[in-house]
Structure 1
């Protein structure tokens, strides 16, 4: 019971921090007045003339994503530090507590910070957030996870023991070709005795292709203004290049797994049942 109260306290504190951060938006960037037809100054209100905390919410679809990206890009012109802190805090909140929807934040990273900074942010935050989830599970959640998912934990434990000789590559395989959702792997890793170092590195490397695709999608969404732009030859070639780059590491890991890893079809089917769960 003490572990449950501890977890509730951590979630409550993190929620209050994130809520407070979102409520104290700085003033929007000022725009210089424009001249009207008679040469007099005419003050035109920017699209976001005042802070609107209610607009800051986790995106649930592409329309919310576009609106939030536009709002944060507006504030980023003069308040880069605040936007960065808010984005990192929101990302770590979702990832640490295994809340669905981190893919939208990866796309948002590309739209706001660009392809290189966005990818670096997505990879670092995914890794740090997953590690925080690992530590929270280790401290507060072991008993509850085993109680809620006994068969899944047991099967994962068996596979970890069978692949002890090449455990790191087995973890990479799970990230590239998940037999179980990432959120479950993050929470169950300390229960099945996966070392934190292996876990940390496998998340950073294993989710790199996924983060790359999401960030590049965000970059494209921030640049296109119509479907014609999206389906231009330049965009289609860019999508093809992204697909090739992201599939290459997976192909290498799959080739390695056939020779060295003990992963059978029955295990994949047994753990994949949770894959559809958000």
Structure 2
């Protein structure tokens, strides 16, 4: 079993090293996407299933290994597939990649981390087990927390896999749609900061607070119940 874990870890490290060695990040820029948009659309028209499979495969690997380029991939989904199907493909791929990162952390790194930080994680474990979906939705909706850090942190807790998958999938739909829809109007984007405006970020924060309401209400109710 240990040999399998070592192989998986080494494989992941090799992919990351290859990504940076070949400088593949140069293809994941706004300029590159604009320059190759027509080529990608033509390839999609001629090889629809292959294009969808390739896009989702790349997005899954990027998310699972926390490589750079998530924003450009979401924009690419809109530019190639359109806002609706682009959102479906991007959100599905990101959710699968996040789940792989979650499982990677839980089954390959969890024991070592828990031996060192187990006591500090106990409170978080309890909250996530009792009201996990609400907290996870809040983390996904509010763009203050890096996507890959949430995957790693959740993998170190006892959060059920099903809860993680559902919370991730539904929690990233709003943000995913914003970027994919922007990609469908790629010509109007000159900088990535044009997408994540203060109004958009504020809307996500508000959605995140709504997701926390059930958890906050339960805490308030329990506090009043235990107060003599």
* Residue 200 (structure 1) shift: 0.3
Does 1:140 pair with 2:108?
A: yes
Does 1:253 pair with 2:194?
A: no
CA contact (8 A) 2:128 2:159 kept: no
Structure 1 residues 154 and 89 mapped into 2: Cα distance closer, same or farther (>3 Å)? farther
Give 3-state SS (helix, strand or coil) of 2:46's partner: coil
What is the Cα-based RMSD across aligned positions, in Å? 3.9
The structure with the largest helix share of the pair is 2
Q: Which has the higher contact order (CA 8 A, sep 6+)?
A: 2
Instruction: Return 5+ residue gaps in structure 1 as ranges.
Output: 19-53, 232-238, 263-278
CA contact (8 A) 2:75 2:179 kept: yes
* Residue 176 (structure 1) shift: 1.8
CA contact (8 A) 2:128 2:158 kept: no
1:169-211 CA distances to partner (integer Å, 9 max, x unpaired)? 1111121236742212212323211110000000001111110
TM-score of the two chains, using structure 2 as the length reference = 0.74
Distance in 1 between the 2:17 and 2:85 partners? Answer: 26
Give 3-state SS (helix, strand or coil) of 2:59's partner: helix
Does 1:169 pair with 2:134?
A: yes
CA contact (8 A) 2:78 2:180 kept: yes
Distance in 2 between the 1:13 and 1:163 partners? Answer: 32
* Residue 65 (structure 1) shift: 2.3
Larger deviation: 112-121 or 166-175? 166-175
Instruction: Return 5+ residue gaps in structure 2 as ranges.
Output: 221-228
Match for residue 6 of structure 2?
Answer: 4
The partner residue of 2:51 within 83, 107, 118 is 83
Match for residue 266 of structure 1?
Answer: none
Count of equivalent residues: 213
1:198-246 CA distances to partner (integer Å, 9 max, x unpaired)? 000000011111101111110111x54999xxx9xxxxxxx99978986
CA contact (8 A) 1:212 1:246 kept: no
The partner residue of 1:187 within 132, 135, 152 is 152
Match for residue 218 of structure 1?
Answer: 183
| Pair member with larger Rg | 1
Match for residue 201 of structure 1?
Answer: 166
